[in-house]
Each structure stands twice: as structure tokens, then as C-alpha cells.
Amino acid sequence: MNQPYTTSPPRTALRQRLRVLLLSIFVGLIPVGSGLLILYWQVDRSLTRGSLEAGQRIIGHLDKVIERADDVTARASQFAGQSCGEVLEPLRRMVTAYPVVRSVVLGDPQHFYCGSELGVLDLSLNEPLLGTDRLVLRASSVPAPDSSSLLFRRFEAGHSINAVIDGEVLGDILGRESGSVETLIEDGGLFLDKQAKVANYSFSDHSEHHALQTSRLYGYRVHSGYPAGHSLQAFKAQGWPMLATLLLIGVITAGVCHWASGQRLEKR
């Protein structure tokens, strides 16, 4: 008895064509996946570099500000130990040449006794000021109880010469040089943010590409980094415009692979 005639291809041919199709799809996905991986690596590297460079720029500017405070205290050291009445006027004239310095305050081991801003003083030193740290970050002070400041201190023969830098000067540097990077200045366990507020440090604000750099000249530290999720957002922002191009390349690659494989099958 004759077998009925059929036009269905042999199973082996179907398997071969299915194999060629799957191989073509896989080959087409390679440029798409590779392109996205390379893009993610570039974004990650760019963010790491951005975090480091922001910290370096901030340290460069802060060092210049503190160098001015260093210079004025060196010049004002000639007044250490003298009575406030004798040195107040020349001290005030000296400070006017240093716009980044709000005032210069003279002190003995237990008190501040003379300031270019307030004149004669009798302020007992609190715990941070009883030490010999060159830098002291403060959340407030007597003339500005709602404003932060940074003291640069020089010690001469048992006396201290203290240059006061407003926190707003430091916050302005952070805001100007940080860009999209979150940054903090750290000194003595305290942190100052872009708003010139002494804030508690939150690692979640710098959890991605966090960098910690120390000033070689003055020892303070600058934290820089991005909040959680920033890397993914940056990748999406750059990835979506490229996705159509990568998909087109993938389709072309898959089509060429499918055509070449089909040619080989026909020759068999």
C-alpha cells in the first residue's frame, strides 16, 4: 500500500533551521549586551573620576583659603601676649587685607582675651580649644551663634593666634566645586555640608563611588560620592538613547549570521 504524500520537511531539517535561528538570535544579542556592559563600565568609571576630582578641587580651594588664615596668624603673632588695647587697632587693619578671614582672636592657655571683631574679650576656652589642634570646626560661636566657622590656630610662647573663617566661605566652595557630587568637610569628628551647617555624616548620601581624601597641608578630610541609585539613573540616562542603535546592530548581525548559516545548509 502506497504511503500518503507529505510536504513536511524532515525533522532533522527543522532542527537545523531552529538551531540556526537560535544561534542567529544569540549572535545578535552579543553586540547589544556587550555595548550595554561597556556603557555601564564607562558610566561607572566616569562617576568614580567625578567623585575623586570634586574632592581634589575642593581641597585645592580650601587649602588656598586656609593658607590665607595661616599667613594672617603668622603676621599677627607679633601681638601675642600684648594687651588688647595696644594691639586692637593694628590687628583690625591687618585683618582687612584678608577677605576670607572674618576675624583674628588672641588667646592665652585658658581664655580668648582680644578679637579684631569684638575687641576686649574674656571667654574661657571649651574642650576643643584647650588642645593644640591647628584646625577646629565649630557649629557656632559667640559673635555668630547660628553660623558655623573654622578656626586656624597658631601657637606662640604659650599664646594662641586664631583666624576665624566663616562656614559660609567653606560651604560656598563645596557648592561651587561639587557639581552633582555630594560632599562634606570633616575635621575633628565634625562634618560641614554645602549649606555651611555642621551635620551628622550619613553614609547613605555618599554610598556610591565614595571617596575620602585628606589635605596634605592641613590634615582635614573631604568626603565625596553619590547617593544610592545614582549610578543606575546615570546609566539609564545614557543607555536609552543608545539602545535603539545597539538593537539595530544586533538585528543586522543576527540577519547576516542567519543568511550565512542558511547558505551553508543549502550547500549540504
Label residue 100 by pLDDT band (50, 70, 90): very high
Contact 192, 214 (CB under 8 A): no
Q: Is 207 helix (H, G, I), strand (E, B) or coil?
A: coil
pLDDT at residue 125 tops 50? yes
- pLDDT at position 7, please? 47
Beta bridge pairs of residue 107: 112, 160
Tell the residue number behind the cell numbers 583674628, with chain if given: 104
Q: In angstroms, rounded to a whole number, what is the distance separating the alpha carbons of residues 154 and 108?
A: 12
What's the DSSP call for residue 10?
Answer: P
**Radius of gyration from C-alpha coordinates of the chain:** 33
Three cell numbers written together for 239? 543607555
Label residue 242 by pLDDT band (50, 70, 90): low
- pLDDT at position 131, please? 79
Q: Answer with the residue of higher pLDDT: 8 or 245.
A: 245
pLDDT at residue 1 tops 50? no
Q: In angstroms, rounded to a whole number, what is the distance separating the alpha carbons of residues 51 and 250?
A: 34
Q: In angstroms, rounded to a whole number, what is the distance separating the alpha carbons of residues 121 and 115?
A: 7
Three cell numbers written together for 251? 538585528
Q: In angstroms, rounded to a whole number, what is the distance separating the alpha carbons of residues 131 and 142?
A: 19
Q: Determine the topology of domain 66-168 in CATH.
A: Beta-Lactamase (3.30.450)
Beta bridge pairs of residue 123: 112
Average model confidence (pLDDT) across the chain: 81
pTM as predicted: 0.77
The structural domains of the chain, with segments of one domain joined by +, span 66-168
Give Cβ neighbours of residue 71 (< 8 Å, ≥ 6 apart).
98
- Mean pLDDT comparison of 10-24, 46-60, 192-206, highest-scoring range: 46-60
Q: In angstroms, rounded to a whole number, what is the distance separating the alpha carbons of residues 100 and 178?
A: 20
Label residue 199 by pLDDT band (50, 70, 90): confident
CA 101-103-107 angle, 5° bins: 125
Q: In angstroms, rounded to a whole number, what is the distance separating the alpha carbons of residues 235 and 227?
A: 14
- Average pLDDT of 148-167? 92
For residue range 36-61, list pLDDT tens digits in order.
677 777 778 888 899 999 999 999 99
